[in-house]
Every structure is written in structure tokens, then in C-alpha cells.
A = this chain, B = another copy of it.
């Protein structure tokens, strides 16, 4: 069970989730667009992430290929669970309130959330 990713690790995971398996150079190029970062910094982070089990790497090619070891949804669930405990006292209602009040939420998104609730109601009958 990989540990909760740190902020820097999350940036890298986001790239891997978006692109699929990637080399360090590819990840670095994308991150460097938004933010100053040396190549070896990204490299080191990804090496550590491999040790932690957050990513897997394929060493068969000279440039190792990394991929997230858990899908985005899985990690999101972990993070949400952690938050629920540590910040929201276990109240999903309060977490949703936090999410909604964090910023303007469009009607369209509210409708999507409603649809989610429908599914969960059905499931819980």
C-alpha cells in the first residue's frame, strides 16, 4: 500500500495519469513549462517514488519508463478518506460543503453531483 503522495509527487503523478507511461525527460518537460525545475530534481523525485511504490518503472530501455502504480481514482479516494478523518470529523456532508464553498460551482457541475448521489442512493437501498 503506497503512502499518501506529497505535493511534489502529486505533480508528477498528475502528469503520468494524463500521459500514461513516460520517461523522466517527458515529465520534466511538462513540469518545466509551469515552474522552474532542474531535470535531476524530477529524476530524484521519481526514483524515490519508485522506492515508495507510488510508481513502477521499466528499465529495459536506456531511458527508464515510469507509470503510476495506482489509478487516479484510487489515489483520490485515499486522499478523500484521509481528509474526511483529519479535517472534517468524518462528515461527508461537511466535506461537500467545503468543496462547494471553496469556489463557484456551475449549475452543470451541481447536476453531475446530484447524479452521483442518485447512484449512491440506489446502491444503498
- List A residues at the B interface (Cβ < 8 Å): 7, 10-11, 14, 73, 75-77, 79-81, 83-84, 86-89, 91-107, 109-110, 112-114, 116-117, 120-121, 124
Contact B102 A81 (CB under 8 A): yes
Contact B110 A100 (CB under 8 A): no
- How many monomers of this chain does the complex have? 2
Secondary structure class of chain A's binding surface, majority of residues = helix
| CB contact between A103 and one of B10, B81, B86, B107 (< 8 Å): that residue | B81
Residues of B within 8 Å of A10, CB to CB, are 86-87
The CA of A92 and the CA of B110, in the complex, are separated in Å by 9
Q: Which residues of B contact A89 (CB under 8 A)?
A: 14
